[in-house]
A and B are shown apart, each in its own frame.
Chain A
Amino acid sequence: MSKKRINFTGRQRIIRDHVQIEVHEQPGSGSIIAHASCALAGYEFPATSQAILEAYRPSGLQYERSSAITLGAGEIAVELNLNAFADHLDCLFRLLVVAPGDSGLVLGLAKQLRPRDNSGNDSSRSSILPVERAEIGPRLWKLELDAGAPVLLVTSNATLVPDHREFVRHPMFLALVMPDVLERCLFWAIDRNPESIEEDESAWWWCVLGQDLSGRPTPDAPPDSDEAQEFIVAAVDGFCRRHGIHARYQALSGEIE
């Protein structure tokens, strides 16, 4: 299977590393300000394009937008007041570069940006496996591979699973379920055989993760081939070692006993 995005609008994906966001309290006023430093020179956007920073809730139900800043040479800073958010800690950000004039055409977009934390570490990394609550009948969880990217679905039944974060982070779930989830996602990604990060970002990153965990290059072979299976097994083994699956399970077993 291959997925291709036909980019009629010419929108470019802005790499997250090119937008550094810091959130700080403004001395004196006490306002909470998000400051985005953008390095957009290499994208060849028109100099009269406008950059806009948006802060939003993961639910998408609330967002705030900065004033538009003319791009110029591409090295710009955009600021956004976050006081409208009762709690800004779980805000995400996106940067839009909009064509000059009134068309509103989005020329470039970086999304799911997170600010650096207080220690200066970059906390902008997101997961390539989003978790989403859904009606999935009698099941507690399900790996959805039919979408453009793998999604881990957790039952929307709040009685059974009041907190999806707690559920997927539970040591039992990590130990018993996650290795298999990884295996199936790698199979899926190898099958998609991504041509480029622009074309199939999710499959691309899954392959990159597989390489990282296995220490091997992504196999140039169908996912059910011996070569691909060895790659997947090595990656899952690497995952289990890196995240101490045995130790987690032993600790949990001890608690149960």
Chain B
Amino acid sequence: MRLCMPIARLGSRGCLQGDEIGKQSWHKMPLAEVPYTGRTSPLRRFSVSLLALRTMTATWSFRKKTELDTDRDPIQGEFFSGEAIDDAAEALVRESIQNSLDNRRAEESVKVCIYISKEGEALLPSQLIRFTAGLFPHLLAERNGLEAAPEQRERCSWIAVEDFGTTGLTGDPATWNPADDEKNNFYSFFRAEGRSDKSGTEGGRWGVGKYVFPLCSRANSFFGYTVPFDTKRPQLLGRSILKSHRVGAVRYQPDGYFAAPASAGLPPMPIISPEIIGEFRHLFGLRRKQEPGLSIVVPWRIGEEDELTVESVRSACVKDYFLPLLSGSLTVEIRSGSELVVLNAGTAPEYAQADPALKPVVELARGVVQNGLPHEVRLDRYETTSAPRWETSMFSEASLREIGACLLDNEPITVRVPMRIHPRTGAKWTHFDVHMIGESGYGQARPYFIRNDIRVTGASRRTVQDVHAIVEIRDPDLSKLLGDAENPSHTEWRQETRGFKERYMYPRATLEFVKDSVREILRIVRQADSAPDALVLADLFPIGEESVGPPAARRRTKKDGKPITPPTPDLELPRRSRLMTVSRIPGGFRITNTESPVTEPTTISVRAAYDVERGNPFKTYSPFDFTFGKQITIDVTGGASLLEMADNRMEIEVRSSPFLIEVSGFDVNRDVVVNSTTKVLADV
């Protein structure tokens, strides 16, 4: 058996020299040297493993660019530049913990250990030689996309993110051409851009979340050490993502791998050498021995000054993952030197105390995960079968009362909201929960949106007054829908997200229904409370007695044109002389002069609206009801002339009697209210 590289080319510690490696193409290596394929026979795997144990070489390799390759500039970093992610710490925490939660083993609690090396701990270049072999010529190449590439003599600070209680990267690492329905986490994590095996209720799905790791490295590089729970076989692979670049006279592709010696027909294969893996674990102080899970090491980390600190990571963890922390499904350990912070159900609320916006939300969430909130209301399904829409009919009198009372008393309450979604494959009812608590005098607060365990930080920027709220989505179908609408960094729900409109009907209304849920609940509850109260002042300003005899008698007198004769002397209201009268004509009304003469030029302002059962008809007017001059014809004759008109208003100038204004064209199935005022022109 041959070694993959001539021994003469090894450096002082048996590693390849970078400039020499750069001249190699790993895909041209002989097949016999393949260390582990994952799809080969057991006998071959055994022999390959033996070889790997003996193979002490592991190098960084970039493939040469050929005439068939395009010049590429990987852009995944842009996915994390959204304003909903504040900084590198938050991006790292969001993506790494989300991946860990998505890969949780059944019934297991996930533990994530984050190590941030301190300045004094930075590794010497000599300590790193084995793991940087072949890398520096590419890191130092011009126009490789790195803004602050590490120097070869520079010490290396790092971040390690390890998860436990997870599956690790399962799947055949030799796979390079998976079947469409093949689930292969290893392939998706290391070998695919924009591909994810996640779907349905899982947090990630764009397949770009992993790029947060190179993003946190000044070398745009990271190592992944995984123990898949099914094979229990430790594997180590490194990845570097640059632009297409030139080393010497050779142009290279952007993707580099720290891998076992290459073999033709196989992708860069993970290192399984216990010796190399042992040294790697020791060097970077990893906690993992043989436990299933994934350990990521980000060398030459960014944010050495202040961006990535125990405090910033801790803050991001509590802010984005308080719900799984409180429920016990997640524990996070953050270390830096001797500094240790443990986040769990007991400590997360303590750390939230310092953040006035977060503290009440975490307290609310604690109530939810411990025993459920003391008050729970289930809304009724809305009547519409098309786009989801908030309707007052969803709220029974009792639920309105309970929600209103809880908010008033600052008592926490859960409102379960039914929601009909419309995948193109068939509509179905789902639901989500809105947890709320009032805080008198707090001011404007933004609701928190949590899909499964991931907080969608930019789901809605609309605030509510004096109420803290968490919108929690766990229903699998609704979670899938919202996941499909998420942007790559999982911070927003957008109807424009690729493929969303094609998969679902009413995309905008569907997302708005969830985004506006807290505001709509509060609006309906407060609106119910704001219905006119016609009783509270009944003793001060009462409607008078109505023992006034049959109304028909009164109508007759009016039709006869005689003055109103009130049925009792107390109700008699004298009449003042008027310039005009308003009377009904078929389909409209007429304004005419009275016997009072027009002594001065006067303007008559007229407003009309269809009458409504409750409220101000003029406020409920819409141009869809009617518009003067369109559906409504106006005929002005005599000593009057039309000055202007718009919508449901018009102004008429009257200079002499007689005058006649006829307005017609109204829907006679509805009553019309007419307001008219006069003003002497000299006053105008």
Contact of B541 among A43, A129, A193 (CB under 8 A): A129
Interface size on B, residues (CB 8 A): 76
Q: Which residues of chain B are near A178, meaning CB under 8 Å?
A: 540
| Whole-angstrom CA separation of A2 from B533 in the bound complex | 25
Across the interface, name the chain B residue whose C-beta is closest to A9: B671
Contact of A195 among B575, B584, B588, B614 (CB under 8 A): B575
Are A126 and B575 touching (Cβ within 8 A)? no
* Contact A4/B673 with A86-B397, A146-B616 known, Cβ cut-off 8 Å: yes
Q: Which residues of chain B are near A222, meaning CB under 8 Å?
A: 576
A226 at the B interface (CB under 8 A): no
Are B546 and A16 touching (Cβ within 8 A)? yes
CB proximity of A209 to chain B, nearest CB, Å? 6
Are B542 and A127 touching (Cβ within 8 A)? yes
Are B544 and A208 touching (Cβ within 8 A)? yes
| Contact bitstring A188-231, B, C-beta under 8 A = 1, else 0 | 00000111101000001101110110000111111000000000
Q: Which residues of chain B are near A3, meaning CB under 8 Å?
A: 673-675
| Contact bitstring A154-194, B, C-beta under 8 A = 1, else 0 | 00111100101100110000100010001001000000011
Q: Counting chain B CB atoms within 10 Å of each CB, which of A5, A6, A85, A195 scores highest?
A: A6
- CB neighbors of A among B605-620 (8 A): 611, 614-619
Q: Which residues of chain A are near B8, meaning CB under 8 Å?
A: none
B684 at the A interface (CB under 8 A): no
Contact of B582 among A2, A164, A182, A211 (CB under 8 A): A2
A42 at the B interface (CB under 8 A): yes
| Whole-angstrom CA separation of A205 from B330 in the bound complex | 67
Are A125 and B674 touching (Cβ within 8 A)? no
B248 at the A interface (CB under 8 A): no
Are A58 and B589 touching (Cβ within 8 A)? no
Q: Which residues of chain B are near A5, meaning CB under 8 Å?
A: 611, 671-674
Contact of A43 among B440, B552, B571, B677 (CB under 8 A): B552
Q: Which residues of chain B are near A17, meaning CB under 8 Å?
A: 545-547
Contact of B675 among A2, A128, A162, A195 (CB under 8 A): A2
Are B540 and A127 touching (Cβ within 8 A)? yes
CB proximity of A102 to chain B, nearest CB, Å? 14
| Whole-angstrom CA separation of A148 from B538 in the bound complex | 19
Interface size on A, residues (CB 8 A): 77
CB proximity of A95 to chain B, nearest CB, Å? 14
| Whole-angstrom CA separation of A3 from B672 in the bound complex | 10
Across the interface, name the chain B residue whose C-beta is closest to A134: B530
* Contact A57/B670 with A127-B538, A147-B619, A194-B573 known, Cβ cut-off 8 Å: no
B682 at the A interface (CB under 8 A): no
B466 at the A interface (CB under 8 A): yes
Are A15 and B551 touching (Cβ within 8 A)? yes
Q: Which residues of chain B are near A41, meaning CB under 8 Å?
A: 550
B529 at the A interface (CB under 8 A): yes
| Whole-angstrom CA separation of A42 from B671 in the bound complex | 23
Q: Which residues of chain A are near B440, meaning CB under 8 Å?
A: 158-159
Q: Which residues of chain A are near B617, meaning CB under 8 Å?
A: 148
- CB neighbors of A among B165-186 (8 A): none
Choose the segment among A25-33, A59-67, A75-83, A249-257 that binds chain B (4+ C-beta atoms closer than 8 Å): A59-67
| Whole-angstrom CA separation of A221 from B573 in the bound complex | 11
Are B584 and A151 touching (Cβ within 8 A)? no
Q: Which residues of chain B are near A11, meaning CB under 8 Å?
A: 671
| Whole-angstrom CA separation of A156 from B530 in the bound complex | 7
A132 at the B interface (CB under 8 A): yes
CB proximity of A187 to chain B, nearest CB, Å? 14
Are A128 and B676 touching (Cβ within 8 A)? no
B356 at the A interface (CB under 8 A): no
Are A193 and B576 touching (Cβ within 8 A)? yes
Q: Counting chain B CB atoms within 10 Å of each CB, which of A8, A15, A60, A147 scores highest?
A: A8
Are B528 and A59 touching (Cβ within 8 A)? yes
Q: Which residues of chain B are near A204, meaning CB under 8 Å?
A: 573
Q: Which residues of chain A are near B195, meaning CB under 8 Å?
A: none
B54 at the A interface (CB under 8 A): no
Are B536 and A168 touching (Cβ within 8 A)? yes
Are B668 and A1 touching (Cβ within 8 A)? no
Across the interface, name the chain A residue whose C-beta is closest to B442: A159
Contact of B584 among A8, A133, A218, A239 (CB under 8 A): A8
| Whole-angstrom CA separation of A33 from B557 in the bound complex | 40
Q: Which residues of chain B are near A129, meaning CB under 8 Å?
A: 537, 540-541
CB proximity of B417 to chain A, nearest CB, Å? 17
B535 at the A interface (CB under 8 A): yes
Interchain residue pairs with CB less than 8 A apart (8): A3-B675, A16-B543, A130-B537, A158-B408, A164-B533, A168-B536, A195-B564, A217-B572
**What 9 pairs between A and B have smallest CB-CB spacing?**
A42-B550, A133-B530, A147-B616, A220-B574, A130-B532, A6-B672, A4-B582, A127-B537, A126-B534
> Residues of A with Cβ closer than 8 Å to B?
1-9, 11-13, 15-17, 41-44, 57-62, 85-86, 112, 114, 125-134, 146-148, 151-152, 156-159, 162, 164-165, 168-169, 174, 178, 182, 185, 193-196, 198, 204-205, 207-209, 211-212, 217-222, 239, 243
> Residues of B with Cβ closer than 8 Å to A?
392-393, 395-398, 400, 407-408, 438, 440-441, 465-466, 526, 528-538, 540-555, 558, 564, 570-576, 578, 582, 584, 587-589, 611, 614-619, 666-677
Known: A178-B540, A212-B570. 15 other contacts (CB 8 A): A3-B674, A4-B582, A6-B673, A15-B551, A59-B397, A59-B400, A86-B397, A128-B541, A129-B537, A132-B530, A132-B533, A148-B673, A157-B465, A217-B572, A220-B575
